[in-house]
Amino acid sequence: MKKITVIGAGGWGLALGLLLHANKNEVIFWCYSEQEKDEILQHRENKRCLPGIKIPIEIKFTSDMKEALEDTDVAIIAVPSKAIRSTVRMMKEVIKEKTIIVNVSKGIEDHSLLCLGDVIEEEVNNPVVVLSGPSHAEEVARRIPTAVTVSSKQVEKAYEIQELFMNQYFRVYTNDDLIGVELGGALKNVIALAAGIVEGMGYGDNTKAALITRGIAEMTRLGVAMGGKQSTFSGLTGIGDLVVTCTSGHSRNRRAGELVGQGLTIEEAMERVNMVVEGVPTTQAAYGLMKKYKVEMPILEAIYKVLFEKQPVKETIDVLMMRDKKDEH
């Protein structure tokens, strides 16, 4: 049995904490505020992020980072991507260097354009493992069969985390392509925003199929330009995560996009969703990477113009469809 600390008590962190508790580990959560902690303890449930999922009494909660990380073997980071660096800076004051850090958040840091694993490594000397793949918290918490991937620069740590998480409803693969794994998990949220927009505009299955297919092509081009492997993007953290995020009713990014397609601004859409929509900051960061690596990404560019330059959606789609003729591959 290992001691596991989950940093962040939102839906995804809770789902993974429940899984690790089911795997016979000691689990403690760090909450960002006393109010969040007290509400969860009062109901033994996070009614906003994971309603209907009861939390066993053995699982502990604290808002004290030192208490949360004391003698822990593995620290799972499950906070929004924009809070990764500030959270890790809090952790570094008390975490032991032997503790494995597992990042389960998906995104790209906006100002540095770094993947989140690199952000963590800039702040601490701990071994870092990334977990990614098609995995909605609502389904993992209900023990619906799910498959994900883990990756690390220290391959033995990836195997250790694979063993920690594996059970009869949560299958874990390893992949040595850390860049590809992280980028796939981040970029799929951008394409999911686009999928939601075309859904909101009333377009059909043909449009969504084209968007998903050309979306994975764009993701792959950027990933390969940054040193990732093409094969990663045909796997769980590429096409797998893209399909589930573009089509599922659980997807916040798809839902936000749908509201934009119906005429709301992105700010209004995020307020309506009332949870983190990672695809929005990721669009801005990915646009920076597109420019930096000189990669053609017309869908990403179109979403950027809709979100940040307030270009009309219908006009943007028309421009996308009427680009110069070209060969598919």
Q: Which long-range contacts (CB under 8 A, 24 or more apart) does 151-160 make?
A: 151/175, 151/176, 151/177, 151/178, 151/181, 151/182, 152/127, 152/128, 152/178, 153/128, 153/178, 154/127, 154/129, 157/100, 157/127, 157/128, 157/129, 158/129, 160/100
Q: Which residues make beta-bridge pairs with 125?
A: none
Distance CA 288, CA 292 (A): 6
Beta-carbon neighbour count of residue 45 at 10 Å?
17
Q: Are 2 and 27 in contact (CB under 8 A)?
A: no
Give the DSSP per-residue string, 170-210: EEEEE-S-HHHHHHHHHHHHHHHHHHHHHHHTT--HHHHHH
Burial class (CB in 10 A: 0-12, 13-18, 19+), 132: buried
Beta-carbon neighbour count of residue 292 at 10 Å?
12
Active site residue 325: no
Catalytic-labelled residue, pool 188, 229, 310, 314? 188
Location of structure tokens 């998906």: 106
Burial class (CB in 10 A: 0-12, 13-18, 19+), 22: middle
Token digits of residue 186: 């981040």
Angle between helices 313-321 and 298-308 (to 10 degrees): 160
Q: Which residues make beta-bridge pairs with 198?
A: none
Q: Are 103 and 115 in contact (CB under 8 A)?
A: no
Catalytic residue IDs: 188
